[in-house]
């Protein structure tokens, strides 16, 4: 029966090995345990709901997390989430350099290490007990400091980098962005001595409603909003400004007044921009309607606000991407021609009513030119006499169909503009007579034959030689 004993021992050894391997895979390695033991604080920034700072540069600062972000208590100032999260991440990443423990006979004296009182503290509040980090004096070794934790008797030696993050002027913990755009506004209004406009948004399409009613360029507006959302506060001037000084700040009247109305019915926010600062001509006074503080911003940032209304107008003659186009019709005088994708988007182009095979690359390039056609200017906002521009009976049209169940978009082409290679035009559904660029000629005077696929050469007939 000795073979049974041997088999039993072999199976037991294999089972024990598998168990040990499983446990080792589940447990961290020795190197990992040593590395983890060097972390002093186990903290996840997202679990912190409040933190309090005491330091020579900051004084006393309390920061609380609200549903709208971090705020500075008790004033309610918007706080810099990036700065706060960086500080909390640094606390969670704080690593031990050395530990001083003392002995029962000779305990450590915190005051000898600048820890009683501490030179700075950070108290964080989560769902657990509050945790306080007390920073002491610098150690004899450069860029290191002493540290104690609440509830612990040891004195730790850590990098001084976190204390440097903590010991910042109070304003460094305030949000440096003048207006954070969490969502696109539903309406934008500018009032300024030199120019004014109003924009309204429906889904992702913008319309200019003042000073003229017209389609607006969504790309230009998005770019301007991005610049506005990046506008930084260069100086916190006064947190309790006296209203009687508004003329001295250039707010009577403002140099610019920009109102943004959220689409969800929330109260609008107005940004006021005033005069240059007496001691810094490169800065201008700024204020928000929903905050008491007076700020200063870079004067160059006003370019994102003081926009020429004409630069906001849509300049594309058609509202479509070339990949969306299903049908193009070109008419000039009494003649015309049509190309289409009869089976929908992405299929081959055909010349309607003509037995002409089209070169698909040429046809697609033509669709790109048509859909990308832009006006070069606006001539008459409310034309009373279209005949003056050759548009009462247009010399031709270009029509573009995007969806089969919707009417085509049409561009009416009028007379040549004297002294130029441009023409008058009218985009159907928009009020103004426009200038059409010389590139129009390439599209309008085109023919389907220009898009024709090159003829294939006839195959050579085999020749036979007569036997000798």
User: pLDDT, tens digit, for every residue of 369-425?
Assistant: 999 999 999 999 999 999 999 999 999 999 999 987 889 999 999 999 999 999 999
Question: Which distant-in-sequence residues (6+ apart) come within 8 Å of 350 by Cβ?
Answer: 339, 340, 341, 342, 358
- The mean pLDDT of the chain is 88
- Compute the residue count for the chain: 468
Q: Give residue-wise pLDDT tens across range 160-178.
A: 999 999 999 999 999 999 9
Which pLDDT value is given to residue 101? 87
CA-to-CA distance for 53 and 87, rounded, in angstroms?
Answer: 11
* pLDDT recorded at residue 453: 83
- Tens-place pLDDT, residues 208-241: 999 999 999 999 999 999 999 999 999 999 999 9
Q: Could you read off the pLDDT of 434-444 as tens digits, one per residue?
A: 999 999 998 99
What whole-number percentage of the chain has pLDDT above 90? Answer: 71
Residues 6+ apart with CB under 8 A from 284: 250, 255, 273, 274, 275, 276, 277, 296, 297, 298, 299, 302
**Which pLDDT does position 22 carry in this prediction?**
44
- The end-to-end CA distance of the chain, in Å, is 100
Given CA atoms 341, 343, 344, 348 in this order, what sign does their dihedral have? negative
DSSP assignment letter at 322: G
What residues contact 148, with CB distance under 8 A and at least 6 apart? Answer: 110, 115, 118, 133, 134, 136, 154, 155, 156
Please write the tens of the pLDDT for every residue from 333-348: 889 999 998 776 667 8
At residue 35, the pLDDT reads: 47
- 8 A C-beta contact, residue 397 and residue 410: yes
d(CA 243, CA 241) in angstroms, rounded, equals 6
pLDDT at 87 over 90: yes
Q: How confident is residue 67, by pLDDT bands cut at 50, 70 and 90?
A: confident
> What CA–CA distance (Å, rounded) separates 328 from 451?
13
Predicted pLDDT of residue 462: 61
pTM summary value: 0.80
**Share of the chain residues as helix, strand and coil, in percent rounded to the nearest 5:** 25, 35, 40
Q: What is the pLDDT of residue 391?
A: 96
Distance CA 149, CA 156 (A): 9
**Enclosing H/E stretch for 327:** strand 327-332
- What percentage of the chain carries pLDDT values higher than 70? 88
Average pLDDT over residues 36-42: 75
């Amino acid at each position: 029966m000795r073979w049974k004993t041997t088999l039993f021992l072999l199976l037991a050894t294999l089972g024990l090995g598998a168990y040990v391997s499983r446990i080792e895979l589940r447990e961290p390695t020795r190197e990992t345990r040593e590395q983890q033991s060097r972390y002093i604080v186990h903290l996840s920034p997202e679990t912190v709901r409040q933190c309090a700072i005491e330091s020579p540069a900051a004084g006393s600062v309390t920061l609380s997390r609200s549903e709208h972000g971090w705020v500075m208590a008790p004033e309610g100032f918007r706080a810099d989430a990036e700065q706060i999260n960086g500080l909390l991440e640094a606390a969670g990443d704080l690593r031990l350099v050395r530990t001083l423990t003392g002995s029962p006979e000779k305990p450590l004296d915190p005051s000898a290490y600048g820890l009683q009182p501490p030179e700075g503290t950070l108290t964080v509040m989560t769902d657990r007990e509050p945790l306080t980090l007390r920073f002491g004096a610098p150690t004899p070794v450069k860029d290191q400091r002493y540290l104690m934790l609440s509830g612990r008797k040891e004195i730790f030696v850590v990098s001084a980098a976190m204390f440097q993050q903590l010991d910042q002027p109070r304003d460094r913990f305030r949000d440096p962005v003048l207006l954070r755009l969490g969502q696109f506004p539903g309406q934008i209004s500018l009032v300024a001595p030199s120019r004014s406009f109003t924009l309204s948004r429906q889904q992702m399409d913008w319309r200019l409603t003042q000073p003229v009613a017209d389609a607006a360029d969504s790309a230009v507006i998005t770019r301007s909003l991005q610049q506005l959302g990046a506008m930084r506060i260069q100086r916190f001037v006064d947190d309790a400004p006296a209203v009687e000084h508004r003329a001295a700040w250039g707010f009577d009247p403002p140099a610019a007044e920009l109102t943004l109305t959220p689409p969800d019915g929330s109260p609008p926010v107005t940004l006021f921009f005033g005069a240059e600062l007496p001691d810094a001509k490169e800065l201008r006074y700024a204020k928000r309607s929903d905050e008491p503080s007076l700020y200063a911003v870079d004067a160059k940032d006003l370019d994102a606000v003081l926009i020429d209304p004409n630069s906001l107008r849509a300049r594309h003659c058609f509202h479509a991407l070339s990949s969306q186009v299903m049908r193009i019709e070109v008419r000039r005088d009494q003649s015309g021609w049509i190309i289409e994708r009869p089976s929908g988007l992405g299929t081959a182009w055909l010349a309607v009513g003509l037995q002409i095979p089209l070169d698909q690359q040429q046809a697609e390039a033509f669709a790109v030119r048509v859909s990308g056609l832009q006006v070069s200017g606006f001539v008459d906002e409310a034309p009373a006499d279209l005949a003056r521009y050759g548009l009462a009976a247009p010399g031709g049209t270009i029509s573009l169909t995007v969806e089969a169940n919707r009417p085509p978009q049409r561009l009416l082409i009028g007379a040549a503009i004297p002294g130029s290679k441009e023409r008058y035009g009218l985009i159907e559904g928009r009020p103004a007579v426009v200038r059409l660029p010389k590139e129009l000629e390439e599209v309008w005077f085109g023919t389907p034959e220009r898009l024709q696929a090159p003829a294939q050469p006839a195959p050579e007939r085999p020749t036979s030689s007569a036997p000798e």
